[in-house]
Structure 1
Amino acid sequence: MTFDSTMFFILLFVAVFLISQALIVPAAGQKAKHKELTKRLNETKGQLDTESINLLNEHYKKSLSPLDKKLVIIPYFANLKKMVELAGIKTSLGDIIIRTLLACSVVVFVVLLLGQPWYFGPILSALVVIAVYMYVNWKISDRLMKFEEQLPEALDIIRRMLQTGQPLVQAFKEVGEELPAPAGDEFKNTFNLLNFGYDMKVAILNMADRVPTVSMLAFSSAVLLQKDTGGNLTENLQKVSEVLRARFKLTRKIKTLSAESRMSAWILVLMPFGLFGMLTILNPGYTEPLYTDPRGMKVIGFGMVSLMIGALWIRKIINIEV
């Protein structure tokens, strides 16, 4: 097999991998994009005193490993650390980076050991980094989706606790004990912050940062609004719970209705690869000019770019925000 054909199959693999990721449309679990709720919470954050923010940052840094404390000083690694926490991965950021670098080193060593061109090492190492990044993003979507499913039940538990005369802090503890992760863990963390003496506003905003979904923003806004202006929190939570259940039901319905479109997208995007594979097996000489003739490589590059644009365009059409 020549170098051109080897490079062709590498590009083919990368294209299939990226296109498959582009067509993954989560039913829920997307990061919040609601402008009004986000704006309201940002205004509330601006009202927090500097002392509370500093105490919260110190409390957060105590839970980090020594290596992570040094990494989060850099904004880029601080964002990566937030992604890891949002994905619910217990491994520290430093360990993930070290393991990824070790995997890249092994890949480079194997490439050199097999006598392949040296630049295959950086290419495959980049694929390893992309695979790790996409895995973290997949874990984030999966975790946020589970949280969205559990939040209405959590609100019902809080509402029942408030109706029996229990304080909101005790209701958070009850949710943390009754529900599994991720909702149980998040409410338990919020209860611990309140137990340490943090203000309710600080704890709620910190929770909204850890789980940035539209549902969480709605719950945070309801609690903060009641704290600032008063009102019946039990009634507000009941309304929020009903809205969240209706929203999640609508999201599931949209996913069901768009299932045919998503299947059509998979078929249309993957058909060229399947057709190429069949032709290669049945008549290898017919497809050989694609990776032996320079013009064939240009056609392949144009086709892969077109497929990526088409996949992203299909995702834009069928990914309806609720």
Structure 2
Amino acid sequence: MTMEPRYILYFAILVSVVLFFEGIRQMFFDENANDPKTQRLRALSGGDQVETAMAQLRRKVDRPAWTRIPILGQLPGRMAQAGLTISPKRVFVMSGLAMGVTLFLGSPFVGIPVAALAAVFVGFVAPVGYINIVRNRRVDAFSRQLPDALDQMKRGLSVGHPVNTTIRAVASNMPDPVATEFQRMADQVVYGDSLPDAIEDMARRMDIEDTYYLAASIRIQHGTGGNLAAMLATLSTVIRNRFAMRRRIKAVSSEGRISAILLSALPFVMYVGTLLTAPDYYTSVQDDPLFYPMCAAILFFVIGNGLILRRLVNFKY
């Protein structure tokens, strides 16, 4: 019994589609290859060259010319702070594909302008917003865990353990993200990097003020000596006091922040309400030559009002 040629063609098409999507999955979503633990084990096993291994452990972000672009230039650093192991280039490729697919599929149904706005949201606004949300959560968790990590290091140093041992103890006993960052520091030291440089790499990677204080403390103690345990205890107390001050500031400024949110959302609520109650309210004057300039001016002032209110109710502490 011979198989018909069309069934062979269908089977070949099915295999081609499966292989295509499997290649896409391995290219963009191979979690095992990009897992931090896998990278550290590969680096420490001797399978990579020294410079390549140290680059994987440090995860320093390259600064090519395109990083000067607003928002996009900050994306690699924010992805490193968020703990995302996927390459920024892959994110850009995936975002471009998402924008193209959204524009291609949406333009026949809603028109090119609306489809273009949807494409920008799907391919740019949503990924950047997701990265920022993950980054803020991870950095906030790291900041909250850092005083406990310093206290644990202080207790280890007080009983006579070396600094490297206390760092590994923090990596073993603390949850992520402190465990991941301290383990990466310990791996750098084991692979031949100096302790002050490893901590400075972590400080640049997380880019928060408390880690820079920790890096400065370790470098001072490494160069001049002194009681590092007492220094870490003082730094832990300072960080906790800063958190208490932040909570007080948030409590005092809560009324102003709520007022800013309501005032910023009020024009959009009025616009949607007008469209629902009187759909012809704006379309009846759409042919007037001043209609679009006035819309642009209103949008400009609304966005400016929101940015100014945000600056007024957000305090740097």
1:108 — aligned with what? 103
SS at structure 2 position matched to 1:114: helix
C-alpha contact 2:81 2:205 (8 A) present in aligned 1? yes
Q: Percent identity?
A: 25
1:50 — aligned with what? none
Aligned-residue offset at 1:123: 4.3
User: Per-residue displacement from partner, 1:16-65 (whole Å, max 9, x unpaired)?
Assistant: xxxxxxxxxxxxxxxxxxxxxxxxxxxxxxxxxxxxxxx9863354579x
Aligned-residue offset at 1:287: 3.6
Asked if residue 204 in structure 1 is aligned to residue 194 in structure 2, the reply is: no
1:125 — aligned with what? 119
Instruction: Name the amino acid aligned to 2:221.
Output: Q
In structure 2, C-alpha distance between the alignment counterparts of 1:211 and 1:57, rounded to whole Å = 22
**Normalised by the size of structure 2, how large is the TM-score?**
0.75
1:216 — aligned with what? 211
SS at structure 2 position matched to 1:320: coil
2:39 — aligned with what? none
Note closer, same or farther for the CA distance 1:60–1:288 as it changes in structure 2 (3 Å cut): farther
2:80 — aligned with what? 85
In structure 2, C-alpha distance between the alignment counterparts of 1:290 and 1:207, rounded to whole Å = 58
2:66 — aligned with what? 76
Aligned-residue offset at 1:116: 2.3
Asked if residue 283 in structure 1 is aligned to residue 278 in structure 2, the reply is: yes
1:166-205 equivalences under 5 Å are: 166-205=161-200
Aligned-residue offset at 1:239: 0.7
2:93 — aligned with what? 98
Q: Count residues in correspondence.
A: 263
Note closer, same or farther for the CA distance 1:63–1:186 as it changes in structure 2 (3 Å cut): closer
In structure 1, C-alpha distance between the alignment counterparts of 2:162 and 2:102, rounded to whole Å = 56
1:1-322 equivalences under 5 Å are: 58-62=52-56, 74-76=64-66, 80-114=75-109, 116-117=111-112, 122-127=116-121, 128-289=123-284, 291-322=286-317
Q: Which shifted more, 282-291 or 147-156? A: 282-291
Aligned-residue offset at 1:75: 4.4
C-alpha contact 1:290 1:297 (8 A) present in aligned 2? no
C-alpha contact 2:260 2:313 (8 A) present in aligned 1? no
Aligned-residue offset at 1:82: 2.8
Which runs of no fewer than 5 residues in structure 1 stay unpaired? 1-54
SS at structure 1 position matched to 2:290: helix
Instruction: Name the amino acid aligned to 1:251.
Output: R
Which runs of no fewer than 5 residues in structure 2 stay unpaired? 1-48, 68-72
Of structures 1 and 2, the larger Rg is shown by 2
